[in-house]
Each structure stands twice: as structure tokens, then as C-alpha cells.
Structure 1
Amino acid sequence: MRAPVFAQIVRAQDATPALRRDLRDCWTAVINAGGAVIPMGCPLPPVPSPEVEPALDEIVRGLAPQRGRILLATVDGALAGWVLLRREPHPLVAHCGTVNHLQTHVRFRGMAVGAALMRRLPEIARDEMGMERLRLTARAGLGLEDFYRRAGWTEVGRWPGALRVAPGDDRDEILMSLAL
């Protein structure tokens, strides 16, 4: 596999209809493959593509160079993965960013696309947005905490049983941090 090529979407008008369709289709495929990126208001899998559109529209509306960006990874012109980086708006935490929705399209799983996105993201947060720290949450039970630890993140806490994946299947929400 060729190394991913990175691009950023920093304004709503840069999210073309074709890109929105690619993001939606990636998100739907990831959810339906068991990924931990189910948006608020979206049913549990299986999920039809239109169900993620309201959440995607909200993300796109929040894009602005210093407030929120989508980092894309493409391979041979195809969307291989993406992640959202947002600056916290409150002045007490404006030096921090939040990472959401890290996704690798199922066609590109096992090819280190997610790891490549997570290596590139801190550079953007620090060098282009002036952030000093990043945070994210992950769902326990999928090995995600190990993935993020390998990328340099530190677990700083857990919210026990905060995520109900299915009746009788409650998972911890893992809180993670990365100093830039």
C-alpha cells in the first residue's frame, strides 16, 4: 500500500458534496463493522447511510481554521480515513483540543491509516492551531486504549459503565490525554 496522502478541510464550503458522500459512506461502513464512532441520535447498527448525515452536517458547520478541522487520509485518491480536531471554545480550555471520530474505512483496515492520522494530528494541533494538549475518549473492550497508548497518549481516567452498547453490555468510557 502506498503511504496515505493527507489533506485538511477547514471550512464548511470546502466540504464538497462528493467529499460529504465519502465521509458519510466511510462513517456508515465503520459503524456497521462494529466501530466505536456512533454519533449522538444515531441508532445502533446496522445503520443506513442517511442516519449519519445530521451528525456530519453538524461537524461540517463547525469547521473553521482555528476552531475545527477534518484531517483526511487518502490512498490512490480514495478516502482511507479521517479524524476531527476541535478547539475547546471556553477561554479556560482554549489551549486544548478534542479529537473525535477517528475512522479507517473498512477497505483500508490493517494498513496503519489510523496510526498515520494520529501521528499527523498532533503536528497540526500544535503547529497550525497553537494547541498545547489534546484529549479524547475511547470505548473500552475494543483495545482502543492500547492503540492510543502506542500513539503516545496517556489514560487519565475512566467513567465506569458509561457506554451501553447493548442491554447487559456496559463499557467504560476511557479518558485520554496527549501533551503537545
Structure 2
Amino acid sequence: MTTHETVPTPTFTQLTRAEDATDAVRRDLAECWTAVINAGGAVVPMGCPLPPVSPAHLAPSVDALVEGLAPQRRRLLMASVGDALAGWVLLRRDPHALEAHYGTVNHLQTHVRFRGLGVGAALMRRLPEIAREEMGLERLRLAVRAGLGLEDFYRGVGWAEVGRWPGALRVAPGDDRDEILMSLAL
């Protein structure tokens, strides 16, 4: 991006039911997730081969994610720039009464074509509003892998590190990383 170009403002779409996800939306989600995984980001879902992956590899995971949508339990927030899916994130509530006031954030992804434009930050600024006003949540949590600087990104959008599981994630033999636990009061 040159200095005279304007950073696009994403528009948001929220999916709360499986029937909201058209075939085109499912395809866009799989393509975004594929691009992110192949660029070295995002956790590869169970049952999916190690990178490089294709959208066909991710389609079952997208379908499972979408089929679990429910207005008060699980929502998908998507950011678009023009007609292109620029990123997405999943927000879910635990059904157990002890944790029903908490939401968990998973799968924040920015398509590689839109990295560095503030799409991820825009999603993370919009998500707490949805969690609080539409789902009645009081706090959000997420976990990130150490060694990628992700904790700095989340701190920059208001999250606080609340703990770590040392060496909890084995990226490769001899490459164990901490799982960083983060929280955001709503």
C-alpha cells in the first residue's frame, strides 16, 4: 500500500444460524482459512492435513462451525472489504451455568490480502459490543500461541494477559510454546 492509498473500512456481517451461511459464504470462509493456514497462521483443525491445504480440506471444518451457530450460543462475525471476505472471528458462550456469563473468542483470521489494514483490530473492536449488547456476556477470553507476537496485538485492542500454560503447545519436536490466556472485561 502506498502512502496515498486509503485504508478501506470493513463492513460487518453477523451469522447466528446455519441457514444464514450460503454456499458462497461457506466457500469464502474456507478460502480465507486456507490462505491463513498456508501463510503460517491459524491452527489447522483436526482431520485436516498439515499445510499446504486447500479449501476442500477446510470445507468440513467450516460446515461444522456453521452448523453450530445459534443466536445466544455461537456467532460468526465477518468483515468484508468491497465484495471480498477480509476476515472473520467466532464468538461462543459455554452452556454451563458457571460459565454462561463468559464468552470465548476463536479463529480470528484476516485474509492475507487484507493484512496490515486493521481488519483484525476492527473485528476485535466490534466483537465486545455484540457480546455485551446482544448476548448479555460480561467478559471474554481467548488463548494464543506464544512466539508470534499475538499477545501484543490483543493488548493493543484492550485485552489483558491473565496467565500462561508453559510449553502447552508443541509446534514441532523441540519447539514447545506457551499458551497465553487473555481476558477482556465488557
Where on the TM-score scale, by shorter chain, does this alignment land: which range? over 0.9
2:10 — aligned with what?
4
1:108 — aligned with what?
114
Q: For residues 50 and 165 of structure 2, what CA distance do their matches in structure 1 show?
A: 21
Contact 2:27 2:59 in 1 (8 A): no
Report the RMSD for the aligned CA atoms in angstroms. Answer: 1.0
2:92 — aligned with what?
86
1:150 — aligned with what?
156
Contact 2:141 2:184 in 1 (8 A): yes
2:4 — aligned with what?
none
Q: For residues 42 and 166 of structure 2, what CA distance do their matches in structure 1 show?
A: 16
1:132 — aligned with what?
138
Instruction: Give the partner amino acid of 1:81.
Output: G
**Normalising by the residue count of structure 1, what TM-score does the alignment of the two structures yield?**
0.96
Q: For residues 65 and 83 of structure 1, what CA distance do their matches in structure 2 show?
A: 15
1:48 CA displacement = 2.3
1:42 CA displacement = 2.4
> The residue matched to 1:91 in structure 2 has which SS?
coil
Structure 2 counterparts to residues 48-59 of structure 1, below 5 A:
48-59=54-65
Q: What count of residue pairs does the alignment treat as equivalent?
A: 180
1:19 and 2:49 matched = no
Q: For residues 142 and 136 of structure 1, what CA distance do their matches in structure 2 show?
A: 15
Contact 1:36 1:139 in 2 (8 A): no
Q: Cα deviations across residues 29-63 of structure 1 (Å, max 9, x unaligned)?
A: 00000103322332332122222222212211110
Show structure 1 runs of 5+ residues with no match: none
1:72 — aligned with what?
78
**Normalising by the residue count of structure 2, what TM-score does the alignment of the two structures yield?**
0.93
Which structure is larger by alpha-carbon Rg, 1 or 2? 2
Mean CA deviation greater in 48-57 or 139-148: 48-57
Contact 1:30 1:37 in 2 (8 A): no
1:123 and 2:143 matched = no
Q: Percent identity?
A: 76
Show structure 2 runs of 5+ residues with no match: 1-6
**Aligned equivalent of 1:166, options 172, 175, 179:** 172
Q: For residues 170 and 41 of structure 1, what CA distance do their matches in structure 2 show?
A: 22
